[in-house]
Amino acid sequence: MIHCGNIIIAEDAKRLAVAGAELFRRHARRSIERSGRFAAAISGGSTPRSMHRLLARHPYVTEISWERVHLFWVDERLVSADDPASNYGAAKMDFLNAVSIPADQVHPMTSEKSPPEAAADYRRKLETCIGGGADRLPRFDLVFLGIGPDGHTASVFPQDPTAEATDLPVVAVKGGNPNVFRLTLSMPVLNRAACAVFIVSGAGKAQIVKNLLAGEASQLPAARVLPVSGRLIWLLDRDAADTLLNFSHFSSL
Ligand code: 6PG
């Protein structure tokens, strides 16, 4: 494992998943000690699934105080929970059915309503569960984010200002792959998090990771995840960090 500032590089995807699960456990323990609860938001896509599956196993399934965890989503495709594209459906399969988190502390974004109504419902859910409101955005203890090769994160897509030029914590958008209606946490609420973690795996992400960390992609959404009073951690596997490691500016890694 290479640690350099806020960049952590795991040898491979398996060790990346372990590092992610350890981060989840550490932040859960710290938040629960401090405030009695842990409010986390997870992303969809394929990268975090190995980490999620680890959370369903020892030591995480027993050592995390799941009864104190409030789980939210960073984004969701507005499909039914049994649709293979559902981020909630994947998480349910990967760990939610195995851990002892109270059902009323699992907050999926799934909805049968229209996208704008679904977004309004989730905003109310956030306000009820972790605070925030008309003039204050909710603050997550930890958000896990993926990055697409195009530099999107959550469902904040390049050339779509919906989720950035807003003071709302949740908005409805359409885009991505699959190109469907989605809900996403907005950039302002991502940047209000106490800790945001990019978890990135695979050679297919190596170029975008290098461009972002070398400051060569400032116009892309992932480059604008800059927690105002929180931490940003880059959790990469060696394949995703490959171009970075060969970039002179980071040769010290
Ligand atoms: C989504 C995700 C999305 C994802 C990235 C990376 O619901 O589509 O939240 O933002 O994190 O596209 O996806 P992979 O991990 O599959 O590469």
> What digits encode the pLDDT tens for the residues 213-227?
999 999 999 999 999
**Alpha-carbon distance 251 to 134, whole Å?**
46
The residue-averaged pLDDT of 131-157 equals 92
227 lines ligand 1 (CB under 6 A): no
The residue-averaged pLDDT of 107-126 equals 94
| Whole-Å CA distances, 142 to 13, 134, 197, 253 | 21, 22, 8, 25
Q: How far is the CA of 199 from the centre of ligand 1 (A)?
A: 10
User: What confidence tier does 3 reach under pLDDT thresholds 50, 70, 90?
Assistant: confident
46 lines ligand 1 (CB under 6 A): yes
The mean pLDDT of the chain is 95
pLDDT of 47 over the 80 cut: yes
Mutate to test the pocket of ligand 1, among 75, 184, 199 (most ligand atoms within 8 A of CB): 75
148 lines ligand 1 (CB under 6 A): yes
The residue-averaged pLDDT of 113-137 equals 89
The residue-averaged pLDDT of 167-181 equals 96
Determine the pLDDT at residue 33. Answer: 98
Q: How far is the CA of 75 from the centre of ligand 1 (A)?
A: 9
89 lines ligand 1 (CB under 6 A): no
Residue of 169, 145, 230, 223 lying closest to 195 (CA atoms): 230
The residue-averaged pLDDT of 19-32 equals 98
Q: How many CB atoms lie within 10 A of CB 63?
A: 11
Determine the pLDDT at residue 253. Answer: 63
**Domains of the chain, with CATH numbers?**
10-227 (3.40.50.1360)
* Residue 182 CA, closest ligand 1 atom number: 7
The full 3-state SS of the chain, as one line of letters, equals CEEECCEEEECCHHHHHHHHHHHHHHHHHHHHHHHCCEEEEECCCCCCHHHHHHHCCCCHHHHCCHHHEEEEECEEECCCCCCCCCHHHHHHHHHHCCCCCCHHHEECCCCCCCHHHHHHHHHHHHHHHHCCECCECCCCCEEEECCCCCCCECCECCCCHHHCCCCCCEEEEEECCCCEEEEEECHHHHCCCCEEEEEECCHHHHHHHHHHHCCCCCCCHHHHCCCCCCEEEEEEEHHHHHHHHCCHHHCCC
The residue-averaged pLDDT of 115-128 equals 96
Mutate to test the pocket of ligand 1, among 147, 186, 205 (most ligand atoms within 8 A of CB): 147
Residues of the chain with pLDDT > 90: what percent?
89
More confident residue, 34 or 4: 34
Q: How far is the CA of 226 from the centre of ligand 1 (A)?
A: 19
